[in-house]
């Protein structure tokens, strides 16, 4: 390891590193190198690599021995370029010390400016700059940053709120301003500042028990260590956890010659975006401050000026723009903007400083943007010839499309409110409304046009009538595949589930969030994309995607590039129409049982209940005959809307007791109709009781014990298809058997289908009727024996909700109770019911696909669990070579884009 390189130099038109070296140099360091390489004015400096950070933590916070000489060599290089010397009392050079991880962690790590100012170097710098005020202004900034970052934080001191050394020093500054009647920091004179710095140093010693260091080298190495230590600071650690940034990445340290934006009125500092990050418009946008240092703009201490006249807003329209005040510098900056965009081919976020009229670039990085802006920039950059459509498609996060598909809580206002509760983001978008606690009140008020949010512990099929008219649903229990989540997502309705902070007191009609008590009728606002609950009515913003040409263009490209087909999970003609508008290419999951919930379900549900209570095959068949016309017409209407596309109809899945009426009035009516007494009915209910219904008498097991239930459903599907065929429609029904664990279960059911098929052909006088018989793969055993199952099945559809439940052993309805702790403590990276657990259950899925295709290379394979609309899971489905994904209507565009990204990413890998 003798000459191992730990320090990378940049400046004077060249650099050791490049933009591609982010892993080693961090984002900031790599881009400083790149800007130097392309000839932009970057103050010279050097980057200490992320490997040193790793070394530091692996070796009890010490450095490799090569580091010091390499740093000294780099300092010498900077000194030669600038003709100044670090720690020199005549002609001194100062440094900034900044962190820089691979990806930006805004505000999470540390910066120290003006390193090298001491009692020895201050007089020289005053002589050299003839600007005493500037020197003491820089010194008070150094004291404040250094004592906070290097002394207090790095020493692990955790002061009480408002008692940190930085706050205490700020109070000294405020006192001076108050005493002299100054409004701004810039009003302080040289004498004021000189006196202030003396007071500050005393305060540092008083608070931290240590003198402020008066040696430039101590300051420099103190700053470097503080940056490395900040990688394991509390803020950085929790940010990493939220963003999934691995601990072993480490941070780099950038040491760079100081340039000064605070030397007077010909100096300034600012931040800019090469395009407007809020709208995406191709317009230079930014803010700047005269006579200031970097953090002043970001910290919001002073009202920032607009960069150009176009960017002026009400609050700063009276203040001069850079374009007005320093037109030549503005022109240079504007040329740099063009150069950087052409070079990086993406919107950049810049930091610059102007020192006595000379422009310096301090940072460039890819700029953050909202969904609307991301779409516009990607499409316009392709049109400008900057990027090909393949890259444009990668520029928009699929989840950003949500901003166009649902109304959202106004982001400008949301950021200034604190949530009162947090749960799982089960249905995207935002909603506001008055709290109601029962489905009946939601229905009553909602249908009158009042905005209500249904707040419950959990929901069941009996609540559906109130869920529809509610603006949103909030539950204290349940996970991403709980009833509330499934139903809300299907409708594109805002929903937050598993909100652990929420306690509901049904008796007194109160909802408690932590110590906040709200009552029925109080307003709340939900952000279903993030799972947040706010008190009160926050305004919403909505955009019509069909009016957004960038959205349309993006999805058009996505369709050209993707290999995966995208279907939808729907069970009503209205939802199916919506899904077609969103670009669905068929139905991947039509759950028959949904005809027994929601609108117009009363009669079929009642008949179904009679069927469940039947005691013999004869009784059951009689009731099934009654049910048949409802089933057929329900299936027929959806098949008809999906004219020309495949429709997978899944046979009855849930355990029968789910349909049993919970209220006494419903039970009495049922007993009367069945001509039995309520005791007998009660007995029959009790017979249905199961200890573990999720693994009980459901799915294919019902069809095995009661073949007539399968027979009736298949008959309804095939007759509906036959009639539509005769009416001139093109239908492709796919009959899907759920909860299969053994190939023999499928053989059993397929025989029934075959018998019914022959009957239907005869009845309609047809030679053939296109249809497939396949199965869900949702039990681990089905994955393990997929080769055998593929001998009988004509298609597979992965039911990843149940596969996750049975593979992980997490109950899908109860996970809300503990998942939050798993996520908070980093035990799980994601909710496995939302994003496929690729390294665990993903292996089962892969095995299922491979084994299935070994038997039948053309086997059609898709997914219909909730994961089918999750971008990362969609990409996984592409990689394991499924044919399609299926998801709720509002997620169809998201899946189309994610599928295209998967194809482009794959092509780029090869
Ligand atoms: C599944 O288990 O993934 C699935 C789609 O079926 P359901 O959610 O109806 O159990
Ligand atoms: Mg299932």
Q: From the CB of 655, is ligand 1 less than 6 Å away?
A: no
The ligand that comes nearest to the alpha carbon of residue 480 is: 1
Q: Which residues contact 691 (CB under 8 A, 6 or more apart)?
A: none
Distance from Cα 740 to the centre of ligand 2, integer Å: 10
Rounded to whole angstroms, the Cα distance separating 218 from 215 reads 5
Model confidence over 578-628: pLDDT tens digits?
999 999 999 999 999 988 887 788 899 999 999 988 888 998 999 999 999
Looking at the chain, the whole-number percentage of residues with pLDDT higher than 70 is 98
Question: Mapping DSSP to helix (H, G, I), strand (E, B) and coil, where does residue 598 land?
Answer: coil
Handedness of CA 853, 855, 856, 862 (dihedral sign): negative
- Inform me whether the pLDDT recorded for 1 exceeds 70: no
Task: Please give the angle made by the CA atoms of 188, 189 and 193, to the nearest 5 degrees.
Answer: 75
Q: From the CB of 868, is ligand 1 less than 6 Å away?
A: no
Ligand 1 atom closest to Cα of residue 805:
2
Chain center to CA of 843: 24
Q: From the CB of 634, is ligand 1 less than 6 Å away?
A: no
Distance from Cα 737 to the centre of ligand 2, integer Å: 10
Task: Please give the angle made by the CA atoms of 539, 540 and 543, to the nearest 5 degrees.
Answer: 150
The pair of structure tokens assigned to 783 is: 């994955």
Distance from Cα 772 to the centre of ligand 2, integer Å: 19
The ligand that comes nearest to the alpha carbon of residue 592 is: 1
The ligand that comes nearest to the alpha carbon of residue 569 is: 1
Model confidence over 550-562: pLDDT tens digits?
999 999 999 999 9
The pair of structure tokens assigned to 290 is: 């005269």
Ligand 1 atom closest to Cα of residue 801:
3
534 confidence band (pLDDT: 50, 70, 90): very high
What pLDDT sits at residue 2? 56
Q: From the CB of 802, is ligand 1 less than 6 Å away?
A: yes
Question: Which run of H or E residues covers position 67?
Answer: helix 67-82
Rounded to whole angstroms, the Cα distance separating 22 from 49 reads 10
**What Å distances lie between residue 781 and 741, 798, 811, CA to CA?**
5, 13, 18
- Inform me whether the pLDDT recorded for 690 exceeds 80: yes
Q: From the CB of 653, is ligand 1 less than 6 Å away?
A: yes
What pLDDT sits at residue 541? 87
16 confidence band (pLDDT: 50, 70, 90): very high
Helix, strand, coil percentages, rounded to 5, for the chain: 50, 15, 35
- Inform me whether the pLDDT recorded for 308 exceeds 80: yes
- Inform me whether the pLDDT recorded for 355 exceeds 90: yes
864 confidence band (pLDDT: 50, 70, 90): very high
* String of DSSP letters for 452-479: EEEEES---GGGHHHHTTSSEEEESS--
Q: What are phi and psi of 510, to 5 degrees?
A: -135, 145
Model confidence over 814-854: pLDDT tens digits?
888 889 889 878 899 889 999 999 999 999 999 999 999 99
363 confidence band (pLDDT: 50, 70, 90): very high
Rounded to whole angstroms, the Cα distance separating 459 from 658 reads 12
Catalytic residue of the set 483, 594, 771, 878: 483
- Inform me whether the pLDDT recorded for 175 exceeds 70: yes
Protein residue whose Cα sits closest to atom 6 of ligand 1: 799
Protein residue whose Cα sits closest to atom 5 of ligand 1: 865
What pLDDT sits at residue 12? 93
Protein residue whose Cα sits closest to atom 8 of ligand 1: 801
- Inform me whether the pLDDT recorded for 512 exceeds 50: yes
Comparing CA positions, the residue from 450, 416, 441 lying closest to residue 523 is 450
Ligand 1 atom closest to Cα of residue 653:
9
Pick the range with the lowest mean pLDDT from 1-5, 696-700, 788-792, 802-806: 1-5
Average pLDDT, the chain: 92
Model confidence over 45-65: pLDDT tens digits?
999 999 999 999 999 999 999
Known catalytic residue at 864: yes
Distance from Cα 485 to the centre of ligand 2, integer Å: 14
The pair of structure tokens assigned to 676 is: 């039995």
Q: From the CB of 569, is ligand 1 less than 6 Å away?
A: no
Q: From the CB of 864, is ligand 1 less than 6 Å away?
A: yes
Distance from Cα 832 to the centre of ligand 2, integer Å: 15
Rounded to whole angstroms, the Cα distance separating 484 from 591 reads 16
Ligand 1 atom closest to Cα of residue 738:
6
Mean pLDDT value of segment 847-867: 98
Distance from Cα 141 to the centre of ligand 2, integer Å: 61
Rounded to whole angstroms, the Cα distance separating 77 from 883 reads 58
Which pTM does this prediction carry?
A: 0.84
Helices (H), 497-548: none
Kindly compute the dihedral angle of the four CA atoms of residues 777, 780, 782, 787, in this order, to the nearest 10 degrees.
Answer: 110
What pLDDT sits at residue 875? 98
Ligand 1 atom closest to Cα of residue 865:
3
What pLDDT sits at residue 230? 86
Q: Mutation test of ligand 1: which of 484, 593, 864 has the most ligand atoms closer than 8 Å to its C-beta?
A: 864
Q: What are phi and psi of 363, to 5 degrees?
A: -165, 145
Protein residue whose Cα sits closest to atom 10 of ligand 1: 802
- Inform me whether the pLDDT recorded for 108 exceeds 80: no
Q: From the CB of 778, is ligand 1 less than 6 Å away?
A: yes
**What Å distances lie between residue 15 and 43, 68, 84, 348, 855, CA to CA?**
12, 20, 20, 20, 57
What pLDDT sits at residue 413? 86
Q: Buried (b) or exposed (e) across 806-829, using 16+ Cβ within 10 A?
A: bbbebebbbbbeebbebbeeeeee
292 confidence band (pLDDT: 50, 70, 90): confident
148: left (phi over 0), alpha (psi -120 to 50) or beta: alpha
What pLDDT sits at residue 784? 98
Known catalytic residue at 771: no
Q: From the CB of 236, is ligand 1 less than 6 Å away?
A: no
Q: Buried (b) or exposed (e) across 295-323, using 16+ Cβ within 10 A?
A: ebbeeeebebbbbbeebbeeeeeebebbb
Q: Which residues pair with 11 in a beta bridge?
A: 14
Rounded to whole angstroms, the Cα distance separating 648 from 637 reads 14
The ligand that comes nearest to the alpha carbon of residue 589 is: 1
What pLDDT sits at residue 27? 93
Comparing CA positions, the residue from 322, 335, 338, 309 lying closest to residue 268 is 322
What pLDDT sits at residue 105? 72
Q: From the CB of 589, is ligand 1 less than 6 Å away?
A: yes
Model confidence over 472-485: pLDDT tens digits?
999 998 777 778 88
Question: Mapping DSSP to helix (H, G, I), strand (E, B) and coil, where does residue 541 land?
Answer: strand
Q: Which residues pair with 587 in a beta bridge?
A: 568, 647
Q: From the CB of 799, is ligand 1 less than 6 Å away?
A: yes
Q: Which residues pair with 772 in a beta bridge?
A: 734
């Amino acid at each position: 390891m003798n000459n191992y390189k730990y320090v990378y130099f940049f400046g004077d038109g060249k650099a050791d590193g490049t933009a591609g070296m982010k892993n080693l140099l961090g984002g900031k360091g790599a881009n400083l190198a790149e800007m130097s390489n392309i000839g932009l004015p970057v103050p010279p400096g050097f980057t200490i690599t992320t490997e040193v950070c790793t070394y530091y933590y692996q070796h009890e916070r010490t450095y490799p021995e090569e580091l010091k000489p390499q740093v000294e060599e780099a300092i010498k290089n900077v000194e030669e370029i600038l003709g100044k010397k670090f720690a020199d009392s005549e002609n001194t050079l100062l440094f900034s010390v900044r962190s820089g991880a691979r990806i930006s962690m805004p505000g999470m790590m540390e910066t120290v400016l003006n390193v090298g100012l001491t009692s020895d170097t201050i007089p020289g710098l005053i002589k050299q700059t003839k600007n005493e005020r500037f020197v003491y202004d820089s010194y008070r900034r150094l004291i404040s940053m250094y004592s906070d970052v290097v002394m207090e934080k790095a020493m692990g001191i955790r002061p009480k709120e408002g008692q940190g050394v930085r706050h205490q020093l700020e109070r000294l500054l405020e006192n001076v301003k108050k005493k002299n009647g100054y409004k701004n920091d810039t009003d302080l004179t040289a004498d004021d500042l000189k006196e202030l710095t003396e007071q500050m140093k005393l305060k540092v010693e008083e608070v931290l028990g240590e003198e402020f260091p008066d040696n430039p080298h101590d300051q420099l190495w103190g700053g470097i260590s503080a940056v490395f230590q900040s990688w394991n600071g509390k803020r950085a650690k929790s940010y990493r956890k939220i963003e999934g940034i691995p601990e072993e990445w480490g941070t780099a340290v950038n040491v760079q010659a100081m340039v000064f934006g605070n030397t007077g009125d010909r100096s300034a500092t600012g931040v800019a975006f090469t395009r407007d990050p809020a709208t995406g418009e191709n317009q230079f946008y930014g803010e700047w401050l005269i006579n200031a240092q970097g953090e002043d703009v970001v910290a919001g201490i002073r009202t920032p000026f607009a960069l150009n006249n176009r960017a002026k807003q009400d609050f700063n329209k009276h203040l001069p723009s850079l374009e007005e005040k320093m037109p030549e510098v503005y022109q240079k900056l504007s040329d740099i903007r063009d150069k950087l965009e052409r070079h990086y081919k993406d919107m950049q976020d810049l930091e610059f400083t102007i020192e006595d009229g000379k422009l310096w670039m301090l940072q460039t990085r890819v700029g953050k943007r909202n969904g609307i802006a991301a779409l516009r920039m990607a499409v316009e950059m392709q049109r400008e010839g900057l990027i090909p459509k393949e890259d444009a498609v990668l520029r928009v996060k699929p989840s950003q499309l949500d901003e166009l598909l649902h109304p959202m809580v106004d982001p400008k206002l949301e950021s200034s409110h604190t949530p009162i509760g947090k749960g799982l983001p089960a249905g995207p978008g935002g909603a506001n409304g008055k709290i109601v606690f029962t489905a009946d009140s939601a229905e009553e008020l909602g249908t009158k046009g009042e905005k209500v949010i249904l707040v419950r512990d959990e929901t069941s099929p009996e609540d559906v009538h109130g869920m529809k008219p509610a603006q949103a649903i909030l539950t204290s229990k349940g996970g991403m595949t709980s009833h509330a989540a499934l139903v809300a997502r299907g409708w594109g309705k805002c929903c937050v589930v598993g909100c652990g902070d929420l306690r509901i007191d049904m008796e007194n009609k109160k909802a408690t969030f932590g110590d906040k008590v709200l009552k029925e009728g109080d307003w709340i606002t939900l952000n279903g994309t993030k799972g947040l609950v706010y008190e009160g009515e926050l305004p919403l913003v909505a955009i019509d995607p069909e009016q957004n040409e960038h959205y349309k263009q993006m999805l058009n490209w996505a369709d050209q590039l993707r290999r995966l087909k995208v279907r939808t999970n729907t069970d009503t003609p209205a939802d199916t129409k919506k899904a077609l508008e969103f670009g669905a290419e068929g139905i991947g999951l039509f759950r028959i049982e949904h005809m027994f919930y929601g609108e117009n379900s009363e009669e079929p549900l009642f008949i179904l209940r009679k069927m469940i209570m039947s005691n013999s095959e004869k009784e059951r068949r009689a009731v099934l005959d009654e049910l048949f016309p409802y089933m057929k017409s329900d299936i027929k209407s959806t098949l008809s809307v999906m004219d020309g596309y495949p429709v997978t109809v899944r046979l009855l899945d849930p355990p029968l007791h789910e349909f049993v009426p919970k209220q006494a009035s419903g039970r009495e009516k049922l007993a009367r109709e069945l001509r039995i007494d309520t005791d007998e009915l009660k007995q029959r209910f009790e017979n249905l009781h199961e200890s573990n219904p999720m693994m009980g008498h459901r799915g294919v097991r019902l069809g095995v014990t009661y073949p007539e239930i399968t027979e009736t459903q298949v008959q309804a599907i095939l007759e509906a298809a036959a009639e539509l065929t005769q009416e001139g429609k093109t239908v492709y029904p796919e009959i899907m058997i759920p909860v299969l664990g053994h190939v023999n279960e499928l053989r059993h059911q397929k025989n029934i289908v075959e018998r019914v098929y022959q009957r239907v052909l005869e009845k309609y006088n047809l030679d053939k009727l296109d249809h497939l018989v396949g199965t869900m793969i949702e039990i681990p055993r089905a994955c393990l024996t997929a080769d055998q199952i593929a001998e009988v099945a004509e298609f597979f559809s992965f039911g990843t909700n149940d596969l996750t439940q049975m593979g992980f052993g997490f109950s899908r309805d109860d996970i809300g109770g503990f998942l939050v702790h798993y996520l908070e403590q980093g035990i799980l990276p994601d909710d496995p019911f939302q994003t496929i657990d690729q390294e665990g259950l993903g292996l089962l899925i892969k095995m299922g696909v491979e084994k299935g295709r070994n038997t039948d290379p053309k086997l059609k394979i898709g997914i219909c669990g909730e994961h089918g609309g999750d971008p990362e899971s969609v990409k996984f489905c592409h990689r394991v070579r499924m044919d399609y994904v299926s998801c709720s209507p509002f997620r169809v565009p998201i899946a189309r884009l994610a599928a295209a990204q998967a194809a482009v990413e794959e092509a780029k890998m090869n």
